[in-house]
Amino acid sequence: MAVYTRKGDTGTTSMYEADPKKRCRVSKSDLRVQAIGAVDEVNSYLGICNFYVQSSNTKKFVTDIQRNLFTIGSILSKAPLEIKKAETKKLEGEIDRIEESLPPLRNFLLPEGSISAVHFMYARALARRAERRVVALHNKEAVDSGVLEYINRLSDYLFCIFREENALSGEKEELWIGRKS
């Protein structure tokens, strides 16, 4: 069976509906498709991050995040799934664990350092974009609150991993200091 179907050649894609009679095609520029695509970008980029990550525990945790992002993409596609609150709690637990091991942060940081750290910082930026797309969809039609919470917490986690990866590499955090008036 070929990967291509040619059905999207006119700029539309099909959307999941539990009732096959309600399945329809929508523009690939539709807010829902944009949100799904942005979540997919984060997920794909986390695969690159996992190539460079130093800790096998972090690698496993990031793989779990990738699974959750597939679930979120499915939810955004209207599949009858849910992202459990416990998954957001796991992110929060990891954020707390990492923050305990690092010095308190009082400034913005420049996105630089070790190769693994900068990849996580870029993943954080992609997660923020995905969140904006999901919120735009939510402003048009309700999105499950678990999805909103998870995607919001994800960028915080990725920022903490950026910091942790730099610390593990012995890289100094480069502070951004605003202009003095």
Domains with residue ranges and CATH for the chain: 28-176 (1.20.1200.10)
pLDDT at 114 over 80: yes
> Can you give the pLDDT at residue 131?
98
pLDDT of residue 21: 75
User: Looking at residue 178, what is its pLDDT?
Assistant: 75
Which class for 94: exposed (0-12), middle (13-18), buried (19 or more C-beta within 10 A)?
buried
Nearest residue to 94 via CA among 38, 11, 156, 18: 156
Compute the distance between CA of residue 99 and CA of residue 26 in angstroms, rounded to an integer: 43
pLDDT of residue 24: 77
> What predicted TM-score, i.e. pTM, was given to this entire model?
0.89
At 31 the pLDDT is 93
Mean pLDDT of 138-157: 96
| 1 CB burial (10 A radius; 0-12, 13-18, 19+) | exposed
Residue 179 binned pLDDT confidence (cut-offs 50, 70, 90): low
What's the pLDDT band for 12 if we cut at 50, 70, 90? confident
Across 100-110, average pLDDT: 82
Q: Could you tell me what percent of the chain has a pLDDT over 70?
A: 95
Kindly report the backbone phi and psi dihedral angles of residue 24, in degrees, each rounded to the nearest multiple of 5, phi listed first: -145, 175
The number of angstroms, rounded, from the C-alpha of 175 to the middle of its chain's C-alpha atoms is 24
Radius of gyration of the chain (CA): 18
